[in-house]
Amino acid sequence: MIRIKARSVTAGVVEGEAIVSQMPISFTGGMDPDTGTIREPSHDLEGRSVAGKILVFPTGKGSTTGSWQFYAAFKRGNAPKGIINVKAEGVVAVSAIITDTPMVHELENDPLELIKTGDFVKINADEGFVEIEGKSDNEKG
Amino acid sequence: MELSKKQQEMLEGKHGRGARKAMEILVAYGECYNAERMIPITSVHIAGNYPVLMDEGIEWLEDLAQGGTKVSVYTTKNPEMFDFDDWEELKVPEMYQDRQRRIDAVLRSLGVTLTYSCHHYLLGNVPRFGDHIAWASSGSQVYANSVIGARSNRDGDHVALAAAITGVIPEWGMHLTENRRGQVVVETERLNLEGFTTADYQAIGWRVGKIVGDKIPVFVNLPADSAIQNIKGILYTLTVTGAVGLVHLVGITPEAPTLEAAFGGTVRPLDRISVEQKDIDQAYGEISFTSEDKVDMVIFGCPQCSIQEIQEIAGMLEGKSVHPETQLWICTSAWVKTLCERMGLLEALKSCGVRVVADVGAADGPHLYLKEQGVRVIAINSARGSYYAHNLFGMDTWFGSSRECIQTAISGRWEGKK
């Protein structure tokens, strides 16, 4: 298990299976609130559901109405349960805060390299760190 | 971020749970952009209508309003789905009436002024030069920054509402002078602007937005006496194809009396683009999303029509009438509809077969039920409206000038560029 320092955007602790994208995500038009599926054509997560996962991606993009879309997905049980961003952006941060979703960004090491889809990940946004199961410290690079 | 004593108290819940939620939103938002402090704002405009909010969004607002949460600065609201005076004639389903009643009730309880208008800046919500504001609709936000010289980021509804409740916003982006300098010079000297329609100006905006992305463009060849609808044509369209929050129109934008001023005093070597006629022609092809000649509906009002625009439409229609198989709607605010009535325009337009609808915009709200009523092919004089009606509601849309749209309404077939 390795632990990486991070800056908290919201509070809370959550753990689960990671799903990792190398591309920015727009919640408006890019994620179906009825399924949690990424539906942006040519996105690296196209057709994959982020529901109940720890969603790891670079940053947000797109319409500021994305926070309404994320909130609807959350109420329908289809939102990710934790968010790790390289650098947080307004729409994603607001989505996390209105749904009490634990969220961190600005990690000491690049989460897009360290975390693979399927890894078991813990976000502790109260104390500001992320833990990845089954990895050793020398993988931090 | 450094918070004042009162802001810290809000965060701790000492001013109620609504203020606490609002301050939590602003702190998380400010954190993303390394804002150092909160600054006071003078004006807020919120946007989300039912298709955006959905049932869950209404519930979120109702929860926020619990315990008597109120806005503390003047806050107006973008258009909704239908005009309550007209719901029977518009054949609005019961479900949507229920949702709009709930939106009405919760916004009234929060203290939001129920303008249901996107030309709120023509009718009371008028910031002054240099004011910090939070406007959550991308079109009016770029208008505020570029024409009025007020300062707003591209804030979403949650942030704008949080700002309305607390009276402050994190200081970042467009609020800071150093971030308002021009980045890309846009030349239009090769275009024959004298013969340009407002639709042609929108085609300029369409093209420039695609090229500049989120960079701040500086238009250097627009005449200082350009008509306001042409300026709006450029600005409102730029925000569709680009993520632009501020446009410097040299000689028009208060911060850009000269090219040097637009760049903050020094003109550095910068990117330059020149818009040509072939770009305009290409844009027309991209803004229409259909090839069907028969048009079900012609719709004006994205953004909502001003009284001048309605007078112009009425003038073009005089002595003619709308084709029996085509509808013509003019979307506007309740104020302007009242003015139309007073000016005798409502009657005159009605006799030509035109419906003036208040409280809705031509880009979104009504399409939910229009689609259910079988309206499919739409002609519109707004690039923004064409794009959203197509992409959000799957409408087949034609885009052209006001005159072409009027001719289409009369013949029932698309009369513009193909």
Name every chain A residue with its beta carbon within 8 A of the beta carbon of B31.
7, 9, 88, 93
Residue A108 is assigned to a structural domain of this protein: yes
Distance CA B258, CA B249 (A): 9
How many structural domains is chain A composed of? Answer: 1
Cβ contact B399:B313 at 8 Å: no
Nearest to B57 among A66, A71, A88 (CB): A71
Within 10 Å of residue B129's Cβ, how many Cβ atoms?
10
Q: Does the active-site annotation cover A63? A: yes
**DSSP SS3 for B398:** strand
Model-level pTM?
Answer: 0.93
A29 pLDDT band, cuts 50/70/90, is confident
Sorted by sequence, the CB contacts under 8 Å of residue B315 that are 6+ apart come out as: none
Nearest to A72 among B28, B32, B54 (CB): B54
Does ipTM come in above 0.95? no
Name every chain B residue with its beta carbon within 8 A of the beta carbon of A10.
28
pLDDT (0 to 100) of residue B392: 85
Phi and psi for B210 in degrees, rounded to 5?
-65, -35
Residue A140 is assigned to a structural domain of this protein: no
**Where is average pLDDT lowest: A1-5, B163-167, B361-365?**
B361-365
The most distant pair of C-alpha atoms in chain B lies apart, rounded to whole Å, by 66
Given A49, A63, A67, A136, the catalytic residue: A63
Residue A141 is assigned to a structural domain of this protein: no
pLDDT tens for residues B199-234? Answer: 999 999 999 999 998 899 999 999 999 999 999 999
- Cα of A10 to nearest chain B Cα, Å: 7
Q: With an 8 Å Cβ cutoff, are B156 and A66 in contact?
A: yes
Range of the domain at A70: 2-135
B402 pLDDT band, cuts 50/70/90, is very high
Phi and psi for A122 in degrees, rounded to 5?
-120, 130
B267 pLDDT band, cuts 50/70/90, is low
Residue A109 is assigned to a structural domain of this protein: yes
Distance CA A58, CA B309 (A): 45
Q: What is the CATH number of the domain that holds A103?
A: 3.50.30.10
Share of chain B above pLDDT 70, in %: 99
Residue A125 is assigned to a structural domain of this protein: yes
* Average pLDDT rounded to a whole number, residues B139-151: 96
Amino acid letter for position B159:
V
* Average pLDDT rounded to a whole number, residues B251-264: 94
* Average pLDDT rounded to a whole number, residues B20-27: 97
B296 pLDDT band, cuts 50/70/90, is very high
User: What's the length of chain A?
Assistant: 141
State yes or no: pLDDT of B320 exceeds 70: yes
pLDDT (0 to 100) of residue A12: 97
Name the residue among A31, A22, A96, A91 with its Cα closest to residue A63. A91
Distance CA A133, CA B224 (A): 63
**Where is average pLDDT lowest: A90-99, A128-137, B290-299, B407-416?**
A128-137
B160 pLDDT band, cuts 50/70/90, is very high
Residue A94 is assigned to a structural domain of this protein: yes
A136 pLDDT band, cuts 50/70/90, is confident
Structure tokens given for B76? 């107006």
Q: Average pLDDT, whole number, for chain B? A: 95
Residue A45 is assigned to a structural domain of this protein: yes
